[in-house]
Amino acid sequence: MTGIYDNNDFFQAYAKMSRSQQGLEGAGEWHQLRPLLPPLKDIHMLDLGCGYGWHCRYAADCGASSIVGIDQSQRMIEEARLRNAHPRIQYQLCDLEQYAYPENTFDLVLSSLVLHYVEDLSGIFHQVYQTLKDHGIFVFSIEHPVFTSGVHQEWIRDSDGNILYWPVDRYFEPGPRETVFLGKTVTKQHHTLTQILMGLLQAGFQLQAVEEAQPDPKMLHLEGMTDELRRPMMLLVRAVKEQGNP
């Protein structure tokens, strides 16, 4: 249920996260995602699930010629227009599974922490492949399969509340998983590592980088951050469309 971003309580809780208040500098994975981006000057970029538009704004500030940011949440798009408006950014209210994906149009497709809401991942990979120009780059972060197969995405704790371990179950069963995120029941989609990486290869992409995010050392003093070193929460991928592939 991705419409959760339009739920008032959820939206207010999301607004309190450091990534919402500080932008990219408040995002624990930005130090690993940024180096995966190609040079942004003069490029045409598509951001799938742009949220508040931080990545769109970053691309505009780096000189991108045109940026399209799409998101299925009316409130997120309103927030993006408010906080990260720029003459070269066009924000559109649109589900990424309904988007028209014009052929051979973009130099870069970016998607940050959105694809774990999408069931048909390989369908989206094919669409992204079609919409990229030759040599175009696809960079995305997605919740890591160890995280999405976590039971309710909660640590197992002892009677004093100390973390014991992260439970993984039904790893080889992709599909919807109910989680509790920001105090609400949120359905996310579990994909195995094989599905994610083979899905890209089968769509015609060549893999250029695969990373498992660890918090920025500068953020380790923040509450709960050292626990993020106990299991991977996000997978970061850079893939390229090369001429001659399907």
Nearer to ligand SAM, 156 or 180 (CB): 180
Structure tokens belonging to residue 244: 């001659």
Does 32 interact with ligand SAM (rule: CB under 6 A)?
no
207 Cβ contact partners less than 8 Å away, ≥ 6 residues apart: 197, 200, 201, 237, 238, 239
Cα 88 from chain centroid (whole Å) = 22
Which one of 68, 109, 113, 128 is in contact with ligand SAM (CB under 6 A)? 113
Beta bridge partners of residue 210, listed in sequence order: 237
Does position 147 interact with ligand SAM (CB under 6 A)? The reply is no
Instruction: Say if residues 130 and 136 touch (Cβ distance below 8 Å).
Output: no
Q: Under the criterion CB under 6 A, does residue 84 sit at the interface with ligand SAM?
A: no
Positive or negative: CA dihedral 188, 191, 192, 197: negative
Reported as type and span, the H/E element at residue 78 is helix 74-83
Which of 97, 211, 212, 216 is the binder for ligand SAM (CB under 6 A)?
A: 97
Of these, 45, 64, 96, 128, which contacts ligand SAM (CB under 6 A)? Answer: 96
Q: What is the nearest approach in angstroms of ligand SAM to the Cβ of residue 91?
A: 11
Task: Classify residue 97 by burial, with Cβ atoms within 10 Å: 0-12, 13-18, 19+.
Answer: middle
Q: Is 148 in the site for ligand SAM (CB under 6 A)?
A: no
Nearest distance in Å: CB 5, ligand SAM: 4
Residue 237 identity: V
Q: Is residue 127 close enough to count as binding ligand SAM by CB under 6 A?
A: no
Binding site for ligand SAM (CB under 6 A): 2, 5, 19, 49-52, 54, 71-73, 76, 95-97, 112-114, 117-118
